Structure 1
Amino acid sequence: MQAGQYIVKFLGDFVIILGEMAPYLLLGFFFAGLLYAFIPREKIDKYFNGSPFRSSVFSSLLGIPLPLCSCGVIPTGAALYKNGASKGGTVSFLISTPQTGVDSILATFSLMGLPFAIIRPIAALITGISGGLITSVITKNEPVEQHVAETVSKPKSLTHKIKAIFRYGFVEFIQDISKWLIIGLVLAAIISALIPNDFFELLNMSPILQMLLILVVSVPLYICATGSIPLAAILILKGVSPGAAFVLLMAGPATNAATITMIGKILGKKSLFTYLATIIIGAMGFGLIIDYALPVQWFTEITSQHLGHDHGTNLAWWQIGSGVLLLGLIINGYIQKYLAAKQNSESQLKNDIMKVQTIKVEGMTCNHCKANVENNLKKLAFVDNVVVNLADKSVTLEGDDIDLEKVKETVESIGYKAV
């Protein structure tokens, strides 16, 4: 096959994968906005304490539908812990949340079928509860840190909530995941175009060896729950066992080098060990169940129908329209991010004559990071206003007698590094 044919096949496969996922992603983004607008933060916080079993169950149940991958869940979990959540509840949240989300569950159903869409939240729930319970037991003798209570937000009108649904679901959330979603789609299309079907079957690797290989790659690297779906689907088409593909779906979003570092720093080594062990054992355990205890056709037929060579390029009009709309929203997200960064820069220039301080903060990657830093710094008595610029990783503070040491202490207590 010549280079031009590979390019044509890559573009065709990219369009097919995008068209299959886009309608369900758009629906998932809408539900993400609903969760953001109608479930206030303080309503979630109160479920992260209590008995170990209660906090682990409620933290996992609340985390599963939330549209947070590890770039957003780590600072969110750190903020919850800082504001009074137990270590067990926090670890449950950190394990269960990045594995799933309303958007990724719907996208999994669209591309990989109902069995995968069902088993993903079940695995997240079981591993989340298990990790939380174990953490509560092994850290029960550790001293309890003093926490600062979260300021309760004022109720918003229905009009504000409706605006928040679309602002968060179709702008801010897309800004957070678009990079990794595009990477996942592109890699899936490249693999589909370059690697022959049943390639991994020809290597004659056992399912267990495939799982271990994918696990070694997945743990240190980052990929979001939604971006992992096209990769897992294409790997099944190329001969990887469904169980090994599930290891990617589970371990890829839940772990990465940055996550591991931050959990160890904020929650301690015992909590970090429990977190990693639970995800690794859970991923391997569910992978083995899928490969050896359940019918293989449950996990391969849908993927072959959607992405196999017999499927062609016969996308329905609503799939094509959804794909175009999704690409438009992604482009709009980058434009909005650029305009916001430009506006923040202009505001900083105008505020030069005011009592302001600007610091650099490393580790901020998404709008959840931005909100966590702003909300925690606004609690400081000497701070009147805080503006985070994600583009250049800067934080501008306005106020009288700003105590930079206290600012640095606050920033680092929620898992970032103030420079």
Structure 2
Amino acid sequence: MNVVTQVFSWLNDQLLKMTWLSELIRLLVEKVFGLSIKDKVGGSLHFFIYDIIKIFILLSVLIFIISYIQSYFPPEKTKKILGGIKGIKGNILGALLGTVTPFCSCSSIPIFIGFTSAGLPLGVTFSFLISSPLVDLASVLILMSFFGAKIAIAYVVVGLVLAVLGGTLIDKLNMEKYIQEYVMDIQNTDVEIIEMTRKERISYAKSQVADIIKRVWLYILIGVGIGAAIHNWIPQSVIETVIGGNNPFAVLLATVVGIPMYADIFGTIPIAEALFGKGVGVGTVLSFMMAVTALSLPSMIMLSKVVKPKLLAIFVSIVSIGIIIIGYLFNAFSYIFI
């Protein structure tokens, strides 16, 4: 058992945390630029270069793997799978399928429209809509590389639970009449599912890597830049005063601040890493990440074109309240994860 633990620890350090890369960047900063990573400028430069390279390496590899898996679940096949299952089982399946589909909320909405117009239960489609940007297999491993296995797995579990409960509540409220009429009028035709060859799947995965990197690179740069500033320039006392454990409204504030932002999970992680490193509670950090990814303002604007104001308000309220409850619970039981 000891050997297995050591092997896992080594793999985690070398493949996910990339400690070898951190050391290389340290040498670069100190020997080439002549800066100490213990100073603000040197520390910021090390944080920025190391996180950028690590995220893009992990992202490219993981998106390729996940996209290869996605090639087995085109929207037509997903609709057929979801169409035959209703109730809580349908919500669970919708949430799980969301983990192998688009990496940001705006990309999820066109699929959400397709599912809704195809007559899938509304609760199932909302479970999918919540989990799709919030939880995916790539983010699990990247979260693990920054925060460790316990927090990464906990994030996935609470994300899926939020998606299932949110979809179930919306289903129980019978909100179908609050879908925009044009969505229900969209003609759905059964498209023949064409199985890809292995070469086509590899080509698809490569194109997904290029497409997603093209869409998220700027947010990653901004996120890492903000993370570097928080990590090296903002005093810990300021962070603790604003969103530290002594502020009973820290989770609420982190959620409210996160909603207007637009970034995917990959651009949010470096900011969360810096906040966590400054002693911010794990629940506060998770609430911030969830608010940014699940309730970003641009995606809510897009969703407003699909659903009527009452349903949009109920969706935002359910997810916001769920995120806040999750944040306070995780802060209360943080000793389990740290």
The TM-score normalised by the length of structure 1 is: 0.64
1:195 aligns with 2:234: yes
Distance 2:281 2:300 in 1: 27
- 1:131 aligns with 166
1:276 aligns with 2:337: no
Equivalent AA in structure 1 for residue 127 of structure 2:
S
**Distance change in 2, residues 1:139/1:87 (3 Å):** same
- 1:115 aligns with 150
Match runs of 1:362-381 below 5 Å: none
Distance 1:124 1:92 in 2: 10
Distance 2:332 2:178 in 1: 44
1:288 aligns with 2:288: no
For the aligned residue pairs, the C-alpha RMSD in angstroms reads 2.4
How far residue 80 of structure 1 moved from its aligned partner, in angstroms, is 2.7
CA contact (8 A) 1:123 1:282 kept: no
Distance 1:195 1:143 in 2: 45
Equivalent AA in structure 2 for residue 46 of structure 1:
K
**Distance change in 2, residues 1:141/1:83 (3 Å):** closer
- 1:91 aligns with 126
Select the residue among 69, 79, 91 that pairs with 2:114.
Answer: 79
Select the residue among 35, 42, 64 that pairs with 1:30.
Answer: 64
Distance 1:94 1:136 in 2: 13
How far residue 22 of structure 1 moved from its aligned partner, in angstroms, is 4.4
- 1:59 aligns with 94
**Distance change in 2, residues 1:72/1:270 (3 Å):** same
Give CA-to-partner distance per residue, 1:65-94, whole Å, 9 cap, x none. Answer: 334211311223223323433322221111
- 2:217 aligns with 178
Match runs of 1:33-52 below 5 Å: 33-49=67-83, 50-52=85-87
Give CA-to-partner distance per residue, 1:176-213, whole Å, 9 cap, x none. Answer: 22221221111111222211345423566635311111
How far residue 146 of structure 1 moved from its aligned partner, in angstroms, is 4.1
CA contact (8 A) 2:178 2:311 kept: no
Select the residue among 29, 38, 48 that pairs with 1:14.
Answer: 48
How far residue 98 of structure 1 moved from its aligned partner, in angstroms, is 0.8
Distance 2:245 2:224 in 1: 26
Distance 1:71 1:141 in 2: 21
**Distance change in 2, residues 1:63/1:53 (3 Å):** same
**Distance change in 2, residues 1:202/1:155 (3 Å):** closer
Distance 1:73 1:181 in 2: 19
1:152 aligns with 2:186: no
**Distance change in 2, residues 1:114/1:173 (3 Å):** same
How far residue 143 of structure 1 moved from its aligned partner, in angstroms, is 8.4
Equivalent AA in structure 1 for residue 97 of structure 2:
L
Distance 2:207 2:215 in 1: 13
- 1:238 aligns with 278
**Distance change in 2, residues 1:12/1:66 (3 Å):** same
SS in 2 for 1:266: coil
Distance 1:207 1:102 in 2: 33
- 1:257 aligns with 297
CA contact (8 A) 1:25 1:106 kept: no
How far residue 23 of structure 1 moved from its aligned partner, in angstroms, is 4.4
**Distance change in 2, residues 1:208/1:48 (3 Å):** farther
How far residue 229 of structure 1 moved from its aligned partner, in angstroms, is 0.8
- 2:260 aligns with 220
Please say which structure displays the higher CA radius of gyration: 1
Per residue, is there more helix in 1 or in 2?
Answer: 2
**Distance change in 2, residues 1:140/1:240 (3 Å):** closer
**Distance change in 2, residues 1:109/1:197 (3 Å):** same
Distance 1:12 1:279 in 2: 36
- 1:339 aligns with none
CA contact (8 A) 1:73 1:97 kept: yes
Distance 1:125 1:261 in 2: 23
Give CA-to-partner distance per residue, 1:227-257, whole Å, 9 cap, x none. Answer: 1111011011123221111101211101122
- 1:106 aligns with 141
Distance 1:235 1:141 in 2: 40
CA contact (8 A) 2:178 2:310 kept: no
Identical residues among aligned pairs (%)? 23
Structure 1: where are the runs of 5+ without partners? 300-419
